[in-house]
Structure 1
Amino acid sequence: MASYHFSAQIVKRSAGRSVVAMAAYRAGERLYDDKAGRWADFGNRRGVVHREILAPEGSAPWLTDRSTLWNAVEHGEKRRDAQLAREINIALPYELSHAQRVELLRAFVQEQFVGRGMVADVAVHEPVPEKGDNPRNHHAHILLTLRQATATGLRSVKTREWNSDRLMLDWRAAWAAHQNDALRRGGHRTSVDHRSLYAQRAEAQERGDLRTAARFDRAPEIHVGPSARLLASQGRSGRSRPVEVGPKRRREEGKAPTRRVRDYPRHDRGSRLDWLTNLLLGNNQLAKARVEKFERQSARLQRKLDYWERQARFHIDGAIQGRLFRWERVKAADLEKARRQKERDRQVQAAKRATQLREIIAELEKVLAAFRGGREAVLARSRQLEGWRRRLDRELDRARSAERGRTR
C-alpha cells in the first residue's frame, strides 16, 4: 500500500550547509558556488529522473535558473547563522506512473508553495537497485525560498508567516489529500493518512473497526538517512551532544541572554540504525504476542461454537419423557406440547449463540490477518535492514583492507 512521508527542515548556514551544493546534489547537476569559490559537481548522480523550478507568475525570469537563484540566496544572507531555505522531503506513491507522480507533485507544489509566493526547486528521485534502494522508494526534494518572489527578484525581508506550525499541519494534510485524489483517479483503492499511528488507531477503535486498529498498533519507525548510514559504513557511531536551540532570551536580570539547551545525550539511544533495529524487534515481539493471544481466543471460541452447533442440531426422538413431568393430572398431549416448545426454544437459543460466535470468530480472524500481515511487514523491513548492515559491513571490511594495504 502507499506510504505517507512528509518532513521539513530549515537549511542553516550555522550547520555548515551550502544551499547551492544542496541544490546541485538534489538536482544531479554541476553548479558553481560563488561564496565558497568551488564547484559542487553531482552531474553523475543516478536516480534523478525529474528536475524543475516553479516560480510565481510575473516574478523575475532569473529566479528559474538554479545557479543564479541559489547563489543570490547565499549572497543575500549576511549573518553567520542565517537561514537560507526550507527543504521539504516527501514520499511519492509507487503505484502511480512516473508521469502521474510528476503531475501530482507539480499540482501540490503550485498550490501550496508557489501560490503563496515561494520559488520551489523540485527534484524527483527514483530508487537505484544497484545501491540497494527499496524499489518503492520514489520521493521528491523541494527547496523553497524563505523570501517572497517579486518582479525584480526576492523581497528584502523574509515572510515569517511561512514558519507557523499551523501552516505545516495544513501542508501535511494537503499532501495526503492530493495523494489520495491522484490514487483514486488512477483506479487504486489504497490511500494514505497524514495523522499519527495513535490518532488513526483511536479513530478505528471508536468506530469499531478492530482490523484497522490492529494495523496501527505498533511503534512508529524512524528515518535512517545517508549521514547515519555513512557513519555506520565507517564503523563509527554518532555521538550526541548538548545543542543550543531557539532564540536568545534573558533568563535572569543582569545576565546576558542565553539560548535554551537541548540535552540530546540524555535521550541518546545509540546510532539511528541500532535504534531502528530495536524498534523493529519491539514491533515484531508485540505482533507475535498479539497473534498468539488471538489464536488462543479463536480456538476457545471455536470449541464453544462446536458445542452450540451440536445443540442447535439436537432433536429428541419423540418419546414422552414422563420422568421429567410427575403431574398425574396433566394430559400426555399437554406434556408433549410443552416438551416440543422447550426443545424449539433451546434450539433457537443455540442457533442464536452459534450465529453470534461465528460473527465474533470472523471479526477475530480479520484482526488476526491484520496482525499477521503487520508482522510479515515488520519481518520484511527487518530483512531489508539486515541487508543494509551486511552491505555496510562489506564496505567497512574493504575500507580496512585498503587502509592496511596503504600502511604496509
Structure 2
Amino acid sequence: MSISTDKKIKILHVIPSANPKGGGPIEGIKQLFSQYSDLGIEAELACCEAPNRPWHDDPSLPKVHAFGPGKTSYAYTPELTKWLTAHSRDYDAVIVDGLWQYHSRAVHLALSKTGVPYYVFPHGMLDPWFKKKYPLKHIKKWLYWPWAEYRMLRDAQSVIFTCEEERLLARQSFWLYKVRESVSTHGTGAPPENKKELSEAFLSKYPELQSKRIVLFLSRLHEKKGCDLLIRAFASVAAKDERLHLLMAGPDQARMQEGLQAIAENLGVGNKITWPGMLQGDDKWGAFYSSEVFCLPSHQENFGIVVAEALACGKPVLISDKVNIWREIEEDGAGFISDDTTAGTERNLMRWLSLNLSEYEALSQRSLQCFKTRFHIRRAAARLAEIIRNGSADLSAAKTQRISSNG
C-alpha cells in the first residue's frame, strides 16, 4: 500500500512495557505521540504487560493494547502474536521498540504472514558494550540471534538508529548482521516555561537544596549509568565550594542505592547528596530548573532523553563519550565531554567549576540552542514519518515491478 504525503498514516508501536520506570524508550514514544497529530499520524500502542496498569491511563499515551502479563523476563506473550496476525492490516506500519524480548519476535512471526511493513528502533541494544561487559549473556544471545533477532532485523523495512554513532556501533556486536539502515534523531518537547514556580515548588519539597549549586543526575540507578563514578568524582571536588550538592534522582530497580550511599558516606559526602527517587512531571522539571548542570557519565547510552531535556532547560551537560550524541554536544559547545572514568567525570566537573558567570551563561545559551536545532522532538517525528512514507513508496514500486515482470 502506498502512503501519499497527505494521507493519514496509522501506526502501531510495540514495546514490552509502557511502565515509565523502564526508562528512555517509553518516554521517547510519548514524545513522538505528542507530535503525530500535526504530521497526519494516528498511533496506538501494544505491549506485553497486564491490561489496565495505572500508567495506561497516562494522557500522553494513545490507546493501549495489553496482552500480558508476559512470562519470565523474556515477556513471552503468545496472545500478542495472535492479535497482531489478526489486526496488523489495520495499520500502515508497525514500529518495534527495543530488542531481546518477545515483542520483537511476535512482530516478526505475525507480520511475515501479513506483508505489513515494520520498522525497528534498537534503542542502543546492539551496542558492543553489552558484549564486553556481560560476555556470558552475549553467548546466550548468540544462541538466540541466528533464528530470531537476526531474522527479525533482516526482514524489517528499516532499522532506525537515533544517531550515526549508534548505527556504527551496532555493526560490531554480531558478525552475522544484515539490515536496511536509516538514521533519524530522537529528542523531547519544549519544557514548561514557568521556570521560577517549578523551581520554587521543587526546592520547597527538598529544603536542604535551597541556595545550593546543584549537580543533577536524573536516570535509573544502574551499573551502566556510571553512578559510582559520579559520586567519587563529586567527592573529589566537593570541597571547592561548600554550596555544592549532588541530586541523584532516579528509580532504584537494580537495588544499587544502598551501596552507592555507602560509597558516599565513606568518602565523607553523604550529607551533600539527596536521593529523591524517580521524579516525574513538575518535580522533574523543577529539578532541572533548580540545577546548574546535568551530569551523566554513562558507560553506554544510546541517546539519553534526559540529556535532551537538560539542554531544553538551558542546562549544560557533563557527559561521557559513551553517550552516543556526545559529538553533537561537543560540536555545539553545549557541555563538556570526557571518558567514562572517575578521572574523566572529575575533569568535567572541574571544567564547569572553573567557569565565571559570563562563561557559564554563554554555555547555557549554547545548550538551549543545541536543543532547538538538533533535539526537538518535531525533527524526530517528521523524520520517522518520512522514513515510513519512503518505505511505503519503495514497497509499492517493488510490487509494480514484480507485476510488470510477471506480465
TM-score w.r.t. length of structure 2: 0.26
Q: Which has the higher contact order (CA 8 A, sep 6+)?
A: 2
Larger radius of gyration: 1
TM-score w.r.t. length of structure 1: 0.26
Structure showing the higher helix proportion among its residues: 1
